[in-house]
Chains A and B, each alone.
Chain A
Amino acid sequence: MRWFWIDRYEEFIRGRHATAVKNVSLAEEHLHDHFPGVAIMPNSLIVEGMAQAAGLLVADALDFNRRVVLAKVAAAEFFFDAVPGDTIRFKAEVLDLKPAGSLTKVTSTVGDRVQGQAELFFAHLEPGEGVPKLFETDELLRWLDQMHIYEIGRDEAGNPLSRPDW
């Protein structure tokens, strides 16, 4: 089982920026213990959602030819807790992208309020650089479809993204 911490993208501009949503629900088991009677979405998992929102943006920009791994949370701060019933929007932006790594900035908002922000640094590894294969291609494609990337995704010129034929 893979943990999904974003539900879908609302905007996806290749190599530039994207907005993903995450609906926080009391049906999520982890909230039952964190904390009983006072459920709070852990900010560590919000960072994971930020990393998924930004990581797919980076991996797509590299044509999924690199293993994109979260190497470092360069900075993160949170201003209030997200709770069941909240819709978190992750706005991810690619600040810098090079063959070896990328720096991204992600802001999480609930309604009009900024809930948190983080700078996330991704390493782009080649097969054989110590990281096992992260996805089977059919599994990855299913996830990308589930995220609506090829429905709403655009390249910089505004053209729809074509779905890869892996």
Chain B
Amino acid sequence: MPSREEIFDKVKSALVDALGVDEDDVTPGATMVGDLGAESIDFLDIVFRLEKAFNIKISRGELFPEDVLSSSEFVADGKVTPAGIAALKARMPFADLSKFESNPSVQNFANTLTVEDMVRYVQSKLAA
């Protein structure tokens, strides 16, 4: 199992290539969308690069739960319902959703995921 630093370096390299950002911008606390400018298609690109870099398989919706966020079952009036929050937590145990819970609007979700979440996600995949 690679160290956290090794994982971070490879995640950083994947994000630099996928998003065209400077290495210095990829800090653990940087948000994927707000700070690094990731768009939805970029997440697919990032999935490809993480799979290759770490030799892991990532299912659709695992890293970015677009299906939950667009589901009428889990979203009401533009906000993720408590059931939706539970679904997100089950799907993304690697992500810190505490801030998102205080303002669970769908639009706000994009600014929730950070680089550190990506690192934790890879760690959880490698440990599985």
Contacts and interface: CB of A to CB of B under 8 A. Distances in A.
A, B assembled together: yes
Interface in B15-64: 17-18, 20, 41-42, 44-45, 48, 51-52, 60
Interface size class of A (residues with CB under 8 A): 10 to 19
Given A96-B52, A99-B60, A100-B60, A72 B45 contact: yes
Interface residues of B, number: 11
Interface of A: 71-72, 74-75, 96, 98-101, 103, 121, 123
B52 A74 contact: no
B63 to A, nearest CB: 12
A103 B60 contact: no
Interface of B: 17-18, 20, 41-42, 44-45, 48, 51-52, 60
Secondary structure type dominating chain B contacts? helix
Given A96-B52, A99-B60, A123 B44 contact: yes
B60 A74 contact: no
A70 B18 CA distance: 15
Given A74-B17, A75-B17, A103 B48 contact: yes
A96 B17 contact: no
A72 B41 contact: yes
B52 to A, nearest CB: 7
Contacts of A99: 60
Nearest to B60: A100
7 contacts: A71-B41, A72-B41, A74-B17, A75-B17, A98-B48, A100-B44, A101-B45
A74 B44 contact: no
Contacts of A72: 41-42, 45
A101 B17 contact: no
Given A71-B44, A96-B51, A101-B44, 9 more contacts: A72-B42, A74-B17, A99-B60, A100-B44, A101-B41, A101-B48, A103-B45, A121-B45, A123-B41
A121 B60 CA distance: 16
Contacts of B45: 72, 74, 101, 103, 121
A121 B17 contact: no
B41 A121 contact: yes
